[in-house]
Structure 1
Amino acid sequence: MGPAATRPVVIIGAGIQGCATAFFLSQRGQPVIVVDKDHVGRHASGVNAGGVRRLGRDIAEIPLSVAAMDWWNQIDQLLDIDKGFHRQFYVKVALDDAGADLASRRIQQLHKAGFQHETWVDRDQLLCRIPHLTKSVLGGVLVEGDGWALPWKITRAFHDKAVALGAEFRTPVTVTSIDRSGEHWQVTTDAGMIETDIVVNCAGAWGGRIARMTGDVLPIEAHAPMLVIT
């Protein structure tokens, strides 16, 4: 984006993506309206494992995840919170030769692409870090500096800072249609219509539905991973 537009940017979705986008735009003096059919952080952004990682990312995601880690390392100062990010490490364990070979090829692929953050650690190094792992482990791929955060805390902090900078949140408000009107967009909701130059789709699992309103195709599938709390 260039200089701040006069019409507010409309962000659809008040999860961490929507709240963070609202915050950074508001920092630049851009008027922002965020709409969400529920409440701030109501869905995945409020109840997830809180992992903050570069490990195992698709190669196309890595530049963004590396850049994002710079923000995570200063998140307390950015959002005026305490212990927003717990910096530790992430590891993907190799239990057999096939896993070790896969790890080796992955590290080589990243190195060729110019990324050095994933490294191999052998059995002894791994057991020193995580003593309760099975002794039959061969090693693993490690990323120092990855860690975790409390999802609701971070999402809410982005929301609060965005509001303090002038962002407007309208919840619960459902978007019913998005139509082109000359050079602008008309975002129709069950609480009225908003005219904007820019619509940002941060609707998460509902992003495909929002995209279809503009004529775009955004294939999204929901997959539920397993989470074990110990």
Structure 2
Amino acid sequence: MHLTFQKCINVKASKLVVTAPGHSPNTDGIHVTETQNIHIQNCTIRTGDDCISIVGGSKNVEATDITCGPGHGISIGSLGAGGSFDYVSNVMVNRAILTETTNGLRIKTWQGGSGYAKNITFQNVEMHNVRNPIIINQFYCDKKEPSCSEQASAVEISNIVYKNITGISVSEEAINFKCSKTFPCHEIWLEDVNLARQEDENVKAACDSVKWTNQGNVSPSC
């Protein structure tokens, strides 16, 4: 971690520049954990891992005018590792540019955990050659020999908004919602989302166990 805010209240972090090689492992730019009422603004982050990671016990988080890339994008989680209870709520990401990142806007949780990720809005985001622009993964597992089959419990994911998200996806699956059958993702809202590939290559959405609504132009769509 380059910069960590842990168990903090009422934080303003602005005009920060974080730089590391794109191949450097686990070099999160700004890590927010167990922190409330934090506003991150006008920051440029180039790393080998998440530009911004927001994890358990965090709420009322705003990130505005963020430039990210290279890196793994902007992430909520991971949450629920080792069967733990985790929560993140009331997050607003507004005005971000992501360039050549592995992921764009990601929510990741472990099977077997509990808790919630809710009331999260991503809006006014530009993607430039991003591999996985929009992704929710309730089967996250970073073990070399994973045992990540679906379990009875999961971190609940609800009330997630994607609004005015545009740009170019490197992969065919520009939207990937991989949610639990026992705890489906619900209240997922997409409004004016337009993700394409270069040279008009095929682009699609993969949507498993998700209850979603769209408005305006949404492409690709579940």
Whether these two folds match at TM > 0.5 is no
Higher helix proportion (structure 1 or 2): 1
Higher strand proportion (structure 1 or 2): 2
Structure number with bigger Rg: 1
| Larger RCO (CA under 8 A, 6+ residues apart) | 1
Q: Shorter-chain-normalised TM-score: which range?
A: under 0.3
TM-score for the superposition, normalised by structure 1: 0.20
